[in-house]
Amino acid sequence: MGMTMSEKILARVSGQSKVSAGDIVWVKVDIVMMHDLLGPWMVDGGFRRLGGQLFDKDKVVVVSDHCTPPATVQQADILKFTRDWARNQDLTYYYEFEGPCHQVIVEHGHVRPGRLILGTDSHTCMAGGLGAFATGIGSTEMIGVLLTGETWLKVPETIKVVWDGKIPHGVYAKDLILETIKDIGHAGATYQSIEFSGEAIKDLSIDERLVLSNMAVEAGAKTGLIEPDEKVANYLRSKGVDEELDLIRSDENASFSRVLYKDASILEPQVACPHEVDNVHSVSLVEGKPVDQVYLGSCTNGRISDLRIAAEILKGKKISKNIRCLVVPASQQIWMQANKEGILDILTEAGCIVNMPSCGACGGFTSGVIGAGEVVMSSSNRNFRGRMGSPKGEVYLGSPATVAATAIEGKITDPRKYLSMEVR
């Protein structure tokens, strides 16, 4: 019996030639990631009580993104604590005001195929888009990892999701993942990995692959992996990574708990309706729902390709007078690229407001939370009650194209009528 990608990675980091789903293994972590809200501020007490010695200052990456820019004194205090901690621990890698951690660690080359990455955030699984085994852990568990560089993991079973067919016009990675979550259910992959494969996935850019892996946790999964290929190698080379990469893949005879075959060619734009991410419907069924705010951003869908799609739709148009449209590039690098390409001008001329890269309103933290009775159409990853502010608000999730088209009409809109008919 061969091994899945997850099994291969966990075998390597536990120093074994073979592991199988269900095994409990002690693993050495390659990269440890913390952010401001669930990082140093939360772990420092226990960390110091247990000696306060980092296992490796080059492997601990801290990103301040949730409290940036601080909206309250408490957030400013947390941010200061995080910055001081990073300095006192002499960390090699500390980033702040650069954007959401998941995007920042990808852009700075910390995420590489075959690595084991643990982070204090549930969307750490995004790194699986480049072929890393990455998952979220809690702050207490992080204390142990910071001290020893190790923890235990149960080797997960893997659900293989095969997306074949050409992705149609107006349909994007976000629509694929929403349809996948609808199919698997929001807890259907609990304790398991998801491996995305198939012709449609190979066709996706790195930007889009990261959307799929980012949202694997919304099906309950431990991680979401995509087989790394030359696109990943080229991407990492462009980020200055020159080491030889382990372009890991599942063996032909690996064992999967389930294999789902999906046809991308018949997929329509999808929308996740309140208040669960698996409450997914084709856009035609929710079209016309009035919204108060549109949110284009987040680690899920705030990358340059997302902003380009929005700009294509919004160029020369105006957003509805009844709404506000917040654009939050997923990193400072993306912000600069969008600026160079004139995208920020196009979006602001259309009436959008461009905020700084951060976790912002996606998690209800800063800059654009919603009030009671308000409705948001968002390109982010979670629509739980209270996620973006008031528990009496409503969050709908869709692709950047659906979000941009919704901004024009002020109600949920099928983006296809605003896109040129060019095949992607």
Partner 1 sequence: MSFIIRGRVWKYGDNINTDIISPGQYMSLPVEKQAEHAMEAIDSTFSQKIKAGDILVAGSNFGSGSSRETAQMVLKHHKIGAIVATSFARIFYRNSINVGLPVVEIDTSVIQEGDDLEIDLLIGKVINRSQGTEYKGTKLPEHLIEMVKMGGLEPYLAKKLNIS
Residue whose tokens read 């692709």: 399
The per-residue DSSP string of 56-106 comes to -TTSEEEEE-SSSS-SSHHHHHHHHHHHHHHHHTT-SEEEESS--HHHHHH
Helices and strands (H and E) in the chain: how many: 15, 18
Q: Does 328 bind partner 1 (CB under 8 A)?
A: no
The stretch near partner 1 (CB under 8 A) out of 102-110, 182-190, 256-264, 321-329 is: 182-190
The stretch near partner 1 (CB under 8 A) out of 164-172, 227-235, 327-335, 360-368 is: 360-368
Q: Does 384 bind partner 1 (CB under 8 A)?
A: yes
The stretch near partner 1 (CB under 8 A) out of 139-147, 205-213, 233-241, 261-269 is: 139-147
Binding mask 226-265 for partner 1 (x = CB under 8 A): ----------------------------------------
The stretch near partner 1 (CB under 8 A) out of 262-270, 290-298, 338-346, 358-366 is: 358-366
Q: Does 369 bind partner 1 (CB under 8 A)?
A: yes
For 229, counting Cβ atoms within 10 Å of its Cβ (0-12 exposed, 13-18 middle, 19+ buried), the class is middle
Residues 6+ apart with CB under 8 A from 302: 99, 100, 103, 296, 328, 329, 330, 331, 334, 357, 379
Residues 6+ apart with CB under 8 A from 138: 38, 120
Cα Rg of the chain, angstroms: 20
Interacting residue with partner 1 among 113, 220, 269, 357 (CB under 8 A)? 220
Q: Does 391 bind partner 1 (CB under 8 A)?
A: yes
For 21, counting Cβ atoms within 10 Å of its Cβ (0-12 exposed, 13-18 middle, 19+ buried), the class is buried
Question: What is the amino acid identity at position 152?
Answer: W
Q: Does 37 bind partner 1 (CB under 8 A)?
A: yes
Question: What is the amino acid identity at position 224?
Answer: G
Interacting residue with partner 1 among 16, 56, 57, 152 (CB under 8 A)? 152
**Nearest-5° angle of CA 386, CA 392, CA 398?**
60
Q: Does 16 bind partner 1 (CB under 8 A)?
A: no
Interacting residue with partner 1 among 155, 382, 396, 409 (CB under 8 A)? 382
Q: How far apart are CA 175 and CA 178, in angstroms?
A: 5
CB of 305 to partner 1, least distance (A): 26
Residues contributing to the site for partner 1 (CB under 8 A): 24, 37-38, 42, 46, 49-51, 67, 72, 74-75, 77-78, 120-122, 124, 136-141, 143-144, 147-148, 152, 186-187, 190-191, 220, 222, 276, 363-365, 369, 382, 384-387, 389, 391
